[in-house]
Amino acid sequence: MLLFTNASQVVTCAGPARARRASELGDCAILTNAAVAIDGGAIAGVGPRDELEQRYAGAERVDCGGRVLMPGLVDSHTHAIFGKPRYEEQELRAAGADYMEIARRGGGIHASVRDLRSRDEEELYGLASGRLARLAAYGTTTVEVKSGYGLTLDDELKMLRVARRLSESQQVRIVPTFLGAHEIPLEARATPAGRADYVTSLVSAMIPRVAADGLAQFVDVFCEPGVFTVEESRSILSAARQAGLHLKLHADELRPSGGAQLAVELGATSADHLAAISHDGIRALAASETVATLLPGTMLFLGKDRQAPARALIEAGAAVALATDFNPGTSPTTNFPLILTLAVSQLRMSVSEAILAATVNGAAALGIADRVGQIAPGFSADLALFDCDDVRELPYWYGDNRCRATWVRGLACHVRTEAQARAGNA
Ligand code: NIG
Ligand code: FE
């Protein structure tokens, strides 16, 4: 048993064990003079320090040193398994090339696919575990990890096996997603029937195999003009649902195509990106259980002058989550607190809205809001300690790493020494 005391604030995010909406997002439930007791990997109690010190007199103490204690961040959208970075595309975009144009020339996702196919599982595992450690160093305790740079059965299974090894060997909680529908592979684009054949192979071979091997909890599709159409996305996700997997959708990222409505129609757990969502899409999400996951780092990094309409979504009543979209093409950052900065400064969210979107609603976007995302009795002891007096400093010191330590299931995960903290090193 551990008793966390002497936090300047305990940001509990406590409340209903489901996604928060509208005015519910206005209160992330901050306690002062509070303590948190954990036992056997779960939160045992949270409340006034004096009371908990009496109740858990025998517990080992963790002195929070006047810092902010909160639920670990839940990053519900990443492509954290990849080979080489793609920095050359950043300069191409600066010179006027568009993201989709780079993809049409065989770069973009295709470049990562070529590279990933040439690497073995061991090498990918080594690269991904380093990147996971960096995500954890910024306060993240749950990471969704997508496949999608293999685009053949064997290469996709290779990626998902890496995800499984990560979840067995690392403390961070991993949620694996099959994204075989990330692109139409170049070899399939080369023949007239290739495109339809690839969709058929996803539906009748790849999804059933991934489900049978228990390698993914979600299936995702990049539904976007020029990639998968709404019709193709519908047939792929219907097959996934039939195989017993949960659904996600890259929807209305760059151009509107009705992706948000499709996600709602199919009962997807989340619709992600949404920078180009229509009014109908906003209304559909607001009236549904589907979480609207916003990824402001992507639009920033692509140099777009537009962001997802977070205020309209929240005011319509949609359940908004935030995530990094960590990937080599459009969002090469492991810094989740930086995404909170963008949420407040670009998406015009309040700090409370941003914090709940990155914890409780991130968990809801992964179907685990009943056990992850809040400091409340019975929830998993997934905690993050930040070198701040006030939680509003988290989005404020933008780009900084203020994370001092994290715990996952009650066990220390990332720990930063005093010297590293002073120097600002992860
Ligand atoms: O979420 N949009 C599709 N997938 C990723 C980008 C992947 C890549 O460019 O490698 C995204 O932005
Ligand atoms: Fe993505």
Q: Give the angle subtended at the CA of 218 by the CAs of 295 and 150, to the nearest 5°.
A: 80
Give the pLDDT of residue 35.
98
**Over 80: is that where the pLDDT of 394 sits?**
yes
**Over 80: is that where the pLDDT of 426 sits?**
no
The label of the residue with tokens 């969002």 reads: 331
Candidate from 222, 254, 302 with most ligand 1 atoms within 8 A of CB, to mutate? 222
Give the pLDDT of residue 50.
98
- Residues 291-303 have pLDDT tens digits of 999 999 999 999 9
**Over 90: is that where the pLDDT of 329 sits?**
yes
DSSP 206: I
Q: Give the mean pLDDT of the chain.
A: 97
* Selected residue with higher pLDDT from 29 and 423: 29
- Atom 12 of ligand 1: nearest residue by CA position: 330
**Closest listed ligand to the CA of 89:** 1
Sheet containing 9-11: order of strands: 30-31, 9-11, 68-71, 383-386, 403-408, 411-415
Kindly list the distances between the CA atom of residue 162 and the CA atoms of 36, 49, 60, 145, 315, in Å, as whole numbers in the listed order: 34, 42, 36, 10, 40
Q: How confident is the model at residue 419 (pLDDT cuts 50, 70, 90)?
A: confident
Tokens of 297: 């780092």
For a pLDDT cut of 90, what percent of the chain falls above it?
98
Q: How close is the Cα of 123 to the center of ligand 2, in Å? A: 22
The label of the residue with tokens 């963008």 reads: 342
**Closest listed ligand to the CA of 112:** 1
Candidate from 104, 112, 307, 327 with most ligand 1 atoms within 8 A of CB, to mutate? 327
For residues 302 and 296, give the distance between their C-alpha atoms in angstroms, rounded to a whole number: 10
Tokens of 121: 């599982």
- Beta-strand runs (E) in 183-257: 218-223, 246-251
DSSP for 256-324 reads -SSHHHHHHHTT-SEEEE-TT--HHHHHHHHTSS-EEEE-HHHHHHTT-S----HHHHHHHT--EEE--
Q: How confident is the model at residue 425 (pLDDT cuts 50, 70, 90)?
A: low
- Residues 32-80 have pLDDT tens digits of 999 999 999 999 999 999 999 999 999 999 999 999 999 999 999 999 9
**Over 90: is that where the pLDDT of 417 sits?**
no
Side-chain-side CA neighbours of 14 within 13 Å: the count stands at 16
Give the pLDDT of residue 418.
83
Candidate from 76, 79, 102, 146 with most ligand 1 atoms within 8 A of CB, to mutate? 79
- Residues 311-323 have pLDDT tens digits of 999 999 999 999 9
Give the pLDDT of residue 141.
98
Q: How close is the Cα of 400 to the center of ligand 1, in Å? A: 25
Whether the CB-CB separation of 215 and 252 falls below 8 Å is answered with no
DSSP 203: I
Of 281, 367, 364, 260, nearest to 322 by C-alpha is: 364
- Residues 343-391 have pLDDT tens digits of 999 999 999 999 999 999 999 999 999 999 999 999 999 999 999 999 9
| Ligand 1 atom closest to 273 (CA) | 1
Give the pLDDT of residue 126.
98
**Closest listed ligand to the CA of 109:** 1
Give the pLDDT of residue 137.
98
For residues 44 and 230, give the distance between their C-alpha atoms in angstroms, rounded to a whole number: 46
Q: How close is the Cα of 330 to the center of ligand 1, in Å? A: 6
- Does the reported pTM lie above 0.85? yes
- Residues 214-237 have pLDDT tens digits of 999 999 999 999 999 999 999 999
Give the pLDDT of residue 87.
98
Whether the CB-CB separation of 245 and 211 falls below 8 Å is answered with yes
Mean per-residue pLDDT, 326-333? 98
Of 27, 31, 26, nearest to 9 by C-alpha is: 31
Torsion of CA 16, 249, 335, 14, to 10 degrees: 0
Side-chain-side CA neighbours of 128 within 13 Å: the count stands at 32
Mean per-residue pLDDT, 395-415? 97
